[in-house]
A and B are shown apart, each in its own frame.
Chain A
């Protein structure tokens, strides 16, 4: 018995060693393949630093007025993408949550649909949509709505599944109708999670709308991409600063709202 235990332990140790060796080998192998060495990284950083200082700085503040429009576009896109995404997702979430789904088949289908929406990157959606609708904020907004539906449907459905059915039952037992139970027992429990997730999605939207813009979705991302192509790096750097400000601003506002509500 003792011996068997010892042997097992030795075997375990061997396995661990083997695993570490393998992991190490993989790190080295991938570093070689991608030509990743501390030296190249260092060299690259120097190069990057020079590029940023020489070509991007100082930002060209005279273009500020021209960037206000695209910056507002980015905000609108993110906001509308979140709002419409949230509205559609609430409906879908009721179909996708185990506790509220009218039928098991509907539940599986809705979940699969949301999963596809979610797992195809926003960028790909944007590229596909540009092909269909041409350049512009419409494409950006649509791409954001699509991924919002993917993410939020699942998130909302999970909130619905965690609802305390005892509370729901108590309200039902007073003689409340379906919609009264929904309004008075389900929504109060659903609301905090709903707000938290929607605000988080808004933050994500502001970030990804830049990338979407770069493939033709409008907003600041589009300005950045255009500037890069035309080597107007000083205008680009102002746009990048604006993106950072937008992201930070959104995070600030959403965290304030969250504090107030939750």
Chain B
């Protein structure tokens, strides 16, 4: 049932980097539309690699990734662009173009739909501009629209990051530790926005998180990765203390990373 309706299908995915590091080993799971998946695991487990294989910022070494009707692992250059424009990405370091306005950063989400000339020159259509403004309004950034991106606070910049992803009108959002550089209050705001918008718009989301507590609070499903392998895949309620130990290994750095708030939660 789930197989038929899946948006994303990952099968036996593996990645070995040029220096021989095996970052992913036989990772398989499928994602149904509307899921909000948190991927947790210790530093170096392969979380970023996994997300980056999905939108082909990293080329997989083996296995298959199917996104809708695109075979991502074997996609041509053109298909990779088609895949990427339907997939928004949010980064830990926000990665906004610092020197241009907030609005323009959001409009960058439209590039995948534009031709080479107008895209390179940044000649965005009126409709795109109007849509981008509406998205910024939704994220509470109307006032910041014409400011340079580097004038914003971290939390605001990450909201622009979300807005940029949304302007792609994506099917899927990949968020790589979106709150790792933010204070607890801003972290909450970002997670509220992200999960709220994805739910309202029916966007599927995969988010890498360091904090187990955050994963529990927002995810509909949690995938735990340890040394490149999936060691847990289930609902947040099924995530036991023991499983967390298994995910984070002998040295549970999750205790520092958010284990405390987990204990409180």
- A169-B95, A172-B57, A173-B84 given as contacts; is B109 within 8 A of A184 (CB)? no
Q: How far is the CB of B109 from chain A (nearest CB, A)?
A: 5
Query: Is A183 in the interface zone, CB < 8 Å from B?
Result: yes
* Residues in chain B near residue A188, CB distance under 8 A: 97, 99-100
| Those of A161-205 within 8 Å (CB) of chain B | 164, 166-167, 169-177, 179-180, 182-185, 188-189, 191-192
Query: Is B81 in the interface zone, CB < 8 Å from A?
Result: yes
Contact call A184/B82, Cβ cutoff below 8 A = no
* Residues in chain B near residue A172, CB distance under 8 A: 57, 84
Closest-by-CB residue of A relative to B149 is A167
Contact call B57/A176, Cβ cutoff below 8 A = no
Contact call B85/A174, Cβ cutoff below 8 A = yes
Number of B positions contacting A (CB below 8 A):
34
Contact call A184/B99, Cβ cutoff below 8 A = no
Report the separation of the CA atoms of residues A6 and B261 in the bound assembly, to the nearest whole angstrom.
56
Query: Is B158 in the interface zone, CB < 8 Å from A?
Result: no
* Residues in chain A near residue B116, CB distance under 8 A: 177, 179-180
Report the separation of the CA atoms of residues A98 and B96 in the bound assembly, to the nearest whole angstrom.
23
Partner of A176, one of B93, B100, B112: B112
The stretch of B14-22, B119-127, B200-208 that contacts the partner chain: B119-127
Report the separation of the CA atoms of residues A188 and B161 in the bound assembly, to the nearest whole angstrom.
18
| Those of B92-110 within 8 Å (CB) of chain A | 93, 95-100, 108-110
Report the separation of the CA atoms of residues A176 and B55 in the bound assembly, to the nearest whole angstrom.
13
Closest-by-CB residue of B relative to A178 is B116
Report the separation of the CA atoms of residues A50 and B57 in the bound assembly, to the nearest whole angstrom.
73
Contact call A170/B120, Cβ cutoff below 8 A = no
| Those of A128-180 within 8 Å (CB) of chain B | 164, 166-167, 169-177, 179-180
* Residues in chain A near residue B108, CB distance under 8 A: 170-171, 174, 176, 184-185
Q: How far is the CB of B72 from chain A (nearest CB, A)?
A: 13
Partner of B95, one of A170, A175, A179, A191: A170
Query: Is B218 in the interface zone, CB < 8 Å from A?
Result: no
Report the separation of the CA atoms of residues A111 and B234 in the bound assembly, to the nearest whole angstrom.
55
* Residues in chain A near residue B114, CB distance under 8 A: 180
Q: How far is the CB of B63 from chain A (nearest CB, A)?
A: 21
Contact call B96/A184, Cβ cutoff below 8 A = no
Partner of B81, one of A175, A179, A185, A191: A175
Query: Is B159 in the interface zone, CB < 8 Å from A?
Result: no
Best-buried of A167, A173, A180, A185 by chain B (most CB within 10 Å): A173
Report the separation of the CA atoms of residues A172 and B52 in the bound assembly, to the nearest whole angstrom.
12
Query: Is B135 in the interface zone, CB < 8 Å from A?
Result: no
Q: How far is the CB of B51 from chain A (nearest CB, A)?
A: 10
* Residues in chain B near residue A173, CB distance under 8 A: 55, 57, 84, 87, 89
| Those of B149-176 within 8 Å (CB) of chain A | 161, 164, 168
User: A185-228 CB contact bits vs B (8 Å, 1 = yes)?
Assistant: 10011011000000000000000000000000000000000000
Best-buried of B82, B93, B161 by chain A (most CB within 10 Å): B93
Contact call B122/A184, Cβ cutoff below 8 A = yes
* Residues in chain A near residue B122, CB distance under 8 A: 183-184
Known: A172-B57, A175-B85, A175-B86. 6 other contacts (CB 8 A): A164-B98, A166-B95, A170-B161, A174-B84, A174-B168, A184-B108
Give 7 pairs: A residue, B residue, CB < 8 Å, sorted on A. A171-B111, A174-B89, A174-B109, A174-B110, A175-B168, A184-B111, A189-B99
| Residues of chain A at the chain B interface (Cβ within 8 Å) | 164, 166-167, 169-177, 179-180, 182-185, 188-189, 191-192
